Amino acid sequence: MKHLIDIGDLSAAQIVHLLDLTDHMVEINQRPMPKVPALRGKTVVNLFFEDSTRTRTSFDTAARRLSADVMNFAVSSSSVNKGESLRDTIETITAMGVDAFVVRHSSSGAPQQITKWTTASIVNAGDGWHQHPTQALLDCYTIRTNLARPQSFDGLQIGIVGDITHSRVARSNVQAFNALGAHVTLVAPPTLLPPGVSGWPVSVCHRIDDIISTVDVLYLLRMQRERMVDALVPSLREYSAMYGLTPQRAKRLQQHALVMHPGPMNRGVEISVDPSELPGSTILNQVANGVAVRMAVLFELLGSSPDPARDQLEGATNKQEPRAHQ
């Protein structure tokens, strides 16, 4: 694996392999000194052209825990503001000798395009409405560990509720959940469902009340107001009344059901119950798992030692030849 651009590029077996690797990373993160030398000498560049709290800090933490050097590229104070093109930015940083770019961009397809301009690995940290593959992996990992489903999600009912149209998380998660065998139902008003949804491997319904008591996982999405051009719901209050997780609805969840959200949450819109009072809420667990999953991805892309992963993770020095830089 050289890049991670689209979760659809991975087979179910490759997803499971990354989740297995994540188990090792979780174990490292629980150590008093959560750091291993697996990526010593490698340089990872975080290139975020869009706002982010958790994804950016998560990749940053993940790379540091594997002992990579991390360059955080601040777009707001860079030559991008002087009109430098994306291509020139990538070629310039590549010339400094880097091994991976972690890219978030508001244009769908930007990470794929960047692969043509650099020899480094590219990890897509969210592109437009298109893909967010590490979010899908961390969500799969969260379900797998919380519902004790190590290999497959066969028979699992997952409801994804909210603004599907503008959501790269929905697109990636549908593919990953489906690949592992779950059945996904999308729940949204028709205005928040993309036109091509009939071709997706999902069921669609327009009422959260129709699925709330049967799902094993209730996955809430944020109303992505910054990506909307028109008013697609009459009002946020109305949306909350029709689609939000209210205290009344929370009572109808199955006892084992998980409540997930990728963050950032709009409290009072998609969720008006305090998640800390929901026994099935995995929202902070998703954040913790995000670091471990991203360690697994970075290790998979950059830690190309022929030694078994475990040996390297447990502290053997990486004796590889340094990669030739352009």
Query: Would you tell me which residues interact with ligand NCD (CB under 6 A)?
Result: 54-55, 126, 132, 135, 168-169, 222, 224, 262-263
Give the residue among 117, 219, 205 at the shortest CA–CA distance from 172. 219
| Overall size of the chain counted in residues | 326
Tell me the closest approach of the beta carbon of residue 141 to ligand NCD, in angstroms. 14
Tell me the closest approach of the beta carbon of residue 96 to ligand NCD, in angstroms. 27
Nearer to ligand NCD (CB atom), residue 38 or residue 258:
258
Nearer to ligand NCD (CB atom), residue 43 or residue 167:
167
Tell me the closest approach of the beta carbon of residue 102 to ligand NCD, in angstroms. 12
Helix axes of 12-29 and 283-302: crossing angle, nearest 10 degrees: 110
Tokens of 69: 């050097």
Nearer to ligand NCD (CB atom), residue 149 or residue 222:
222
Cα distances (angstroms) measured from residue 190 to each of 14, 40, 194, 227, 312: 34, 49, 8, 17, 50
Tell me the closest approach of the beta carbon of residue 262 to ligand NCD, in angstroms. 4
Nearer to ligand NCD (CB atom), residue 136 or residue 253:
136
Tell me the closest approach of the beta carbon of residue 55 to ligand NCD, in angstroms. 4
Cα distances (angstroms) measured from residue 325 to each of 98, 238, 322: 7, 55, 9
Q: Give the count of beta carbons closer than 10 Å to the beta carbon of residue 237.
A: 12
Nearer to ligand NCD (CB atom), residue 101 or residue 309:
101
Give the residue among 305, 285, 282, 283 at the shortest CA–CA distance from 293. 285
